[in-house]
Amino acid sequence: MISSMNGVLHRENSNDAITRTKSTNNSNSSINTSLSTSTGSVRVPLTDRTNNNEGHGRGSLRNSSKNIKSQGKPVANYEEGIPKFEDVMINVKENKEQAVSLYRLRIEFLKDRKNHEHADLVVIQKTIKRLESYITSLTSMYLSSPMKELPASIQDIDEADSTDPQSVSEYVVHIHDYLLQRELVSLLPQNFIEKQSEVTERMRSILMDWLVEVHRMFKLLPETLFLTGYIIDAYLYREQVSRDNLQLLGVTAMLIASKYEEIYAPECNDFVYISDGAYTKRQILDMENVILTKLGFKLTTPLSLQFLRRYSKVAGSDYSIHTLCKYILETMLLDMNMHAYQPSLLACSSVYIARKMTSPSNTKLWDESLHYYTSYPEEKVKECAKYVNQRLMATRASTTLRAVEKKYSLAKFGQVTSIQLVDL
CATH number at residue 414: 1.10.472.10
Residue 76 pLDDT > 60, yes or no? Answer: no
Residue 180 belongs to some domain of the structure: no
Residue 332 pLDDT > 80, yes or no? Answer: yes
Name the DSSP letter for residue 412. Answer: G
Q: What would the DSSP string read from start to end of 178-246?
A: HHHHHHHHHPPPTTGGGG-SS--HHHHHHHHHHHHHHHHHTT--HHHHHHHHHHHHHHHHHS---GGGH
Question: 129 and 75, same structural domain?
Answer: yes
Look at 60 and 324; give whichever has higher pLDDT.
Answer: 324
Question: 250 and 323, same structural domain?
Answer: no
Mean pLDDT of 213-240: 96
Question: 316 and 278, same structural domain?
Answer: no
What local confidence, expressed as pLDDT, does residue 3 receive? 52
What local confidence, expressed as pLDDT, does residue 51 receive? 40
Report d(CA 94, CA 143) in Å as an integer: 10
Residue 146 pLDDT > 80, yes or no? Answer: no
Question: 312 and 353, same structural domain?
Answer: yes
What is the percent of the chain with per-residue pLDDT over 70, rounded to a whole number? 78
Question: 118 and 30, same structural domain?
Answer: yes
Report d(CA 8, CA 363) in Å as an integer: 45
- The residue type found at 76 is A
Domain that holds residue 125: 20-144
Report d(CA 113, CA 6) in Å as an integer: 48
Side-chain half-sphere CA neighbours of 28 within 13 A: 12
What local confidence, expressed as pLDDT, does residue 363 receive? 84
Look at 371 and 52; give whichever has higher pLDDT.
Answer: 371
Residue 43 belongs to some domain of the structure: yes
From its phi and psi, is residue 368 left (phi > 0), alpha (psi between -120 and 50) or beta?
Answer: alpha
Residue 216 belongs to some domain of the structure: yes
Q: For residue 295, with 0-12 CB atoms within 10 Å meaning exposed, 13-18 middle and 19 or more buried, which class applies?
A: middle
Residue 2 pLDDT > 80, yes or no? Answer: no
**pLDDT tens track for 278-295:** 999 999 999 999 999 999
Report d(CA 292, CA 299) in Å as an integer: 8
Question: 134 and 103, same structural domain?
Answer: yes
Question: 206 and 317, same structural domain?
Answer: no
Using 50, 70 and 90 to split pLDDT, how confident is the model at 224? very high
Residue 330 belongs to some domain of the structure: yes
Residue 116 pLDDT > 80, yes or no? Answer: no
- What is the domain count for the chain? 3
Residue 37 pLDDT > 50, yes or no? Answer: no
Question: 36 and 62, same structural domain?
Answer: yes
Cα dist. 84→138, 140, 156 in Å?
A: 13, 18, 40
Residue 359 belongs to some domain of the structure: yes
Domain boundary among 294, 317, 349: 294
pTM above 0.75, yes or no: no
Question: 132 and 24, same structural domain?
Answer: yes
Domain boundary among 294, 327, 357: 294
**pLDDT tens track for 149-201:** 778 888 888 888 888 888 888 888 888 988 888 888 888 888 889 889 999 99
What local confidence, expressed as pLDDT, does residue 6 receive? 53
Residue 150 belongs to some domain of the structure: no
Question: 344 and 277, same structural domain?
Answer: no
Domain boundary among 294, 318, 353: 294
Side-chain half-sphere CA neighbours of 270 within 13 A: 12
What local confidence, expressed as pLDDT, does residue 227 receive? 97
Question: 409 and 308, same structural domain?
Answer: yes
Residue 424 belongs to some domain of the structure: no
Question: 115 and 41, same structural domain?
Answer: yes
Using 50, 70 and 90 to split pLDDT, how confident is the model at 117? low
Residue 47 belongs to some domain of the structure: yes
Mean pLDDT of 78-97: 74
Report d(CA 249, CA 105) in Å as an integer: 39
Using 50, 70 and 90 to split pLDDT, how confident is the model at 331? very high
What local confidence, expressed as pLDDT, does residue 260 receive? 96
